[in-house]
Structure 1
């Protein structure tokens, strides 16, 4: 798949984006949910090896189907690992026809003024260079908003777009992800403030500076319609944010043009002890339900 083809698929394709990018901190949790206890590994290397096996099983499954899945977000370790002797991104693009993305943030800074900014990324240029060598199409980076603090929300969105421009300059498409905490008592207010800040940045982008957005499903249905229709936005995707698959799908359906980019909701029923038939059937049913909600 060439970049132009990938751009088209992400912009106009029917389906959703699979998030397979749990990193260091959330990996033990992801493995435990998959039925692999912490006693199964002794160090980080063994842990990443097990998680790569889990991701390989998902990606190589016939249920991981390009008819329903437009793209997949990878963790750095997954990008540098191989599936059936081919680097993961090439396997996705060539064997599956699925567009590869890379998570590039280094995690969240401590909460301050009701938000969590991204930690500094001193090696970002180096990582983007590697991402290009590995044929990655776009990137993803996450911040979190918990309180309706206008200055702090502005700072989060400013940081996202500042790094986003660095990513665009490297020839990749950034997924801008300022997540609003679904448990925030001020969720709706946070979303309105954030939307205004995002629009401000979108209106100041140059003519080739395309971005994607990854946002929590809004409290008020279709709040993000303006962002979805914006000429500089390739696609707006939603994170499940801790909702169960069923709840996330229900909420997603109320928003026209918003598609899913779920991680937990995709893999919540998968288990290491399932036979391939059981595993594929569970994955297929999750994929289909998320797809239905996305279209």
Structure 2
């Protein structure tokens, strides 16, 4: 059995990266299009979700998708409840010694004060109980910062930590993801405000409480070094944020101690029509390049 403590140690100390396979209903059509599946190839939401599940199954079950390079996977709720080879997806991952996380946010509010806060997360406690029963180790939730706006940034960070404390109380480890839009005009100024707000909230956590941070690759290399080394931070992940895989890897390699949690950068060159050999080779190349950037 792959225990919670073993998973905790692996996320904290392990060499590798996190695969983000958590596209939700709103982003699934775009993800499928990138995979080479157009909207006229499915007639309803049920077929759409089956196609994305088939894609994720193809990725997760590939021989290159192994514990040697992959530390964990972030899942969409429907994927968490799905099967691979008649095995629940979290169990399938745990059997491969890969740590399963669950995306719990329900999307974003409209832009206000330079940010998009998360929408309310209904029945969160019940969903966390179910996730834990299925073997989920932690959660992920995303909000986005677009402008240099102190009040908005403070609200985003406070909201992330507020939900994070509920998740910690349920016995799960939260990934807090206050994304900075890579096209933001004042990106470096935003990152300075964001780091200040995060440090303030980290200082309010209890002694035994630890979180994971998932942050946009910063404009200044090693800008988040003090977060990487913070006693209340289990690990810092980086999101690709729309960068292509070469750019994302180049930027990641400049940030010591930060590991990837990529989605588009990992999956972008995978196509539905590829043969199994082509698919596996393409996935292996992406995994290897992201792994090398994560351990540099």
TM bracket, shorter-chain basis: over 0.9
- Looking at structure 1, the residues matched to 34 and 147 of structure 2 have their Cα atoms a distance apart, in angstroms, of 29
User: Structure 1, residues 47-105: CA drift from partner, whole Å, max 9, x if none?
Assistant: 001100000000000011110110000000000101111110110011x1100000000
- Write the mapping of 1:1-295 to structure 2, written as runs, cut at 5 A: 1-94=2-95, 96-295=96-295
TM-score under structure 2 length normalisation = 0.99
Gaps of 5+ in 2: none
Gaps of 5+ in 1: none
Q: Secondary structure at the match of 1:261?
A: strand
Deviation at 1:25, TM superposition (A): 0.7
- Looking at structure 2, the residues matched to 183 and 97 of structure 1 have their Cα atoms a distance apart, in angstroms, of 36
TM-score under structure 1 length normalisation = 0.99
- Looking at structure 1, the residues matched to 173 and 207 of structure 2 have their Cα atoms a distance apart, in angstroms, of 14
- Looking at structure 2, the residues matched to 132 and 237 of structure 1 have their Cα atoms a distance apart, in angstroms, of 22
- Looking at structure 2, the residues matched to 247 and 273 of structure 1 have their Cα atoms a distance apart, in angstroms, of 26
Q: Secondary structure at the match of 2:20?
A: strand
Q: Secondary structure at the match of 2:179?
A: strand
- Looking at structure 2, the residues matched to 169 and 44 of structure 1 have their Cα atoms a distance apart, in angstroms, of 34
- Looking at structure 2, the residues matched to 235 and 121 of structure 1 have their Cα atoms a distance apart, in angstroms, of 24
User: Structure 1, residues 32-55: CA drift from partner, whole Å, max 9, x if none?
Assistant: 111111011111111001100000
- Looking at structure 1, the residues matched to 113 and 198 of structure 2 have their Cα atoms a distance apart, in angstroms, of 19
Q: Secondary structure at the match of 1:50?
A: helix
- Looking at structure 2, the residues matched to 151 and 176 of structure 1 have their Cα atoms a distance apart, in angstroms, of 18
Deviation at 1:207, TM superposition (A): 1.5
- Looking at structure 2, the residues matched to 40 and 2 of structure 1 have their Cα atoms a distance apart, in angstroms, of 41
Q: Secondary structure at the match of 1:65?
A: coil
Question: Where has structure 1 moved over 3 Å in runs of 4 or more?
Answer: none
- Looking at structure 1, the residues matched to 126 and 79 of structure 2 have their Cα atoms a distance apart, in angstroms, of 17
- Looking at structure 2, the residues matched to 249 and 112 of structure 1 have their Cα atoms a distance apart, in angstroms, of 32
- Looking at structure 2, the residues matched to 49 and 256 of structure 1 have their Cα atoms a distance apart, in angstroms, of 38
